[in-house]
Amino acid sequence: MQNQTTTLLVIGAGPGGYVAAIRAGQLGVPTVLVEADRLGGTCLNIGCIPSKALIHAADEFDRVRHLAEGDGSGVAMGIRTKSPRIDIAQTVGWKDAIVTRLTGGVGALLKKHGVTVLKGWARILDGKTVEVQGEGEPVRVSCQHLLLACGSEPVELPFMPFGGKVWSATEALSPASVPQRLVVVGAGYIGLELGTAYRKLGAEVSVVEALDRILPNYDEELTRPVAAALKRLGVHLHLATKVLGMNAAGDAVLVRNADDAESEIAADAVLVAVGRRPRVSGWELERLQLDMQGAFIKVDDRCATSMRAVYAIGDLTGEPMLAHRAMAQGEMVAELVAGKVRRFDPVAIPAVCFTDPEVVVVGKCPPEAGPECLSATFPFAANGRALTLSAAEGFVRVVARRDDHRIVGWQAVGRGVAELCTAFSHSIEMGALLEDVAGTIHAHPTLGEAVQEAALRALGHALHV
């Protein structure tokens, strides 16, 4: 068995792990990064990036198809086209090329900063020692600091295990063909993002949700435009409905509605998207006997666990399970190991749902903010740029304290609003007041003008509504 020593050992090369390793390398900290699969983890390989690529391809195909069908969406602009079709194999190849480019870039950055990458499965021996089993002989790595960044995995339904017609998001992102009938189990952001994409690619899509509304983690004012768009697309929603499993023939999903009536929904494929769980088993984490918080590893504001010099970041440590949270935590841990003084204490972490229309939430929503806060919305129907993009549906909403007008939350729903979340985060993190945003000149014509107008409306003098 080979033996190595290092200052920092990182298990998991997802967004949190590879960012931690790169930053540690930049700071001159000897670092070893262990990854059983591909660099980039779930996000780059089978999550954030490939899903957005597939969503974009579906959007483009849907737009061209509607123009060809002469449904009126392009007639006014004078656009006409004929007989578009989707070559899903080529689409998947295009998506995979983007993933390969990004993961290759991660590898180059790790090499540039002197990080040693070990490909293999990590097995924890103790808080200072990890054994890595790859294709060759095992490697035993001893470290001064251990960082756990193993991410999460999709939740599998015990009565509907993954395999064959039953997909996780992984299989949904690399289909051999577009199924004629797709049933999506779960109306959270993953289920609706991919369900919408498949509907635009031509599948008949049914979404089954046990709760009585879609996107249950978002307030109803934000989800209402999404529900309307799903209806226009022809997505069939089965709310307050429980999945019981596949039928005996394996060609339909058995469901039970709120009235206890059972029925079948025909399915050529079933996407199960009922959530994700931390990946805490399979690598002998239990040897460390760390304090846990439910299913997650308990950490403090330095991402330190209950064992000295052992850190955990990202999805292992709880909600929100977002790549950008893991990245920020990973960077911080690297700097702590290098001797810097840091804390993980963001004022707000942005969350984006890439449905059509998109949904953005940063900070507090009105129900959470309470009566001591005020809120105001500005509709995209009154925004010139939105009208030129045929994206008049949706709005921007601001939440601020009544007493000093300090902004505590932003939300938006509409086409392209994901690109507004940086401005939202900046204003909250920097302690901006409504007057600060209202008094900042915003470029015209842009969707960002709705941000200024929402602040103006909260102050009682919006200009364009």
Least confident of 20-24, 68-72, 379-383, 435-439: 68-72
Residue 1 clears pLDDT 90, i.e. is over it: no
Mean pLDDT of 167-196: 97
Mean pLDDT of 67-79: 68
Tell me how many helices (H) and strands (E) the chain has.
13, 24
Q: How confident is the model at residue 230 (pLDDT cuts 50, 70, 90)?
A: very high
Angle at CA of residue 410, ends 425 and 385, nearest 5°: 95
Residues 6+ apart with CB under 8 A from 374: 399, 400, 401, 402, 458
Q: What is the DSSP string of 321-332?
A: --HHHHHHHHHH
| Residue 145 falls in the annotated catalytic set | no
Q: What is the DSSP string of 365-429?
A: -HHHH-TTEEEEEEEGGG-HHHHHTT--S-EEEEEEETTT-BEEEEEEEETTGGGGHHHHHHHHH
Is residue 66 within 8 A of residue 74, CB to CB? The reply is yes
Q: How confident is the model at residue 82 (pLDDT cuts 50, 70, 90)?
A: confident
Mean confidence (pLDDT) of the chain: 95
Structure tokens at 370: 């309470």
Strands 407-414 and 358-363: antiparallel
Report d(CA 32, CA 362) in Å as an integer.
Answer: 34
Mean pLDDT of 92-107: 96
Mean pLDDT of 338-352: 97
Residue 119 clears pLDDT 90, i.e. is over it: yes
Q: Catalytic pick from 145, 444, 461, 464?
A: 444
Cis amide leading into 154 (omega within 30): no
Strands 139-148 and 310-312: parallel
Task: Kindly state the DSSP code that residue 287 receives in the 8-state scheme.
Answer: G
Cis amide leading into 320 (omega within 30): yes
Mean pLDDT of 171-179: 96
Residue 149 clears pLDDT 80, i.e. is over it: yes
Residues 6+ apart with CB under 8 A from 155: 272, 274, 275, 276, 277
Q: Identify any residues that bridge with 414 across adjacent strands, giving them in sequence order.
A: 358
Structure tokens at 141: 């790595």
Domains of the chain are 2-46+93-154+277-337 (3.50.50.60), 166-274 (3.50.50.60), 351-458 (3.30.390.30)
Q: Identify any residues that bridge with 460 across adjacent strands, giving them in sequence order.
A: none
Residue 70 clears pLDDT 70, i.e. is over it: no
Residue 322 clears pLDDT 70, i.e. is over it: yes
Residue 71 clears pLDDT 70, i.e. is over it: no
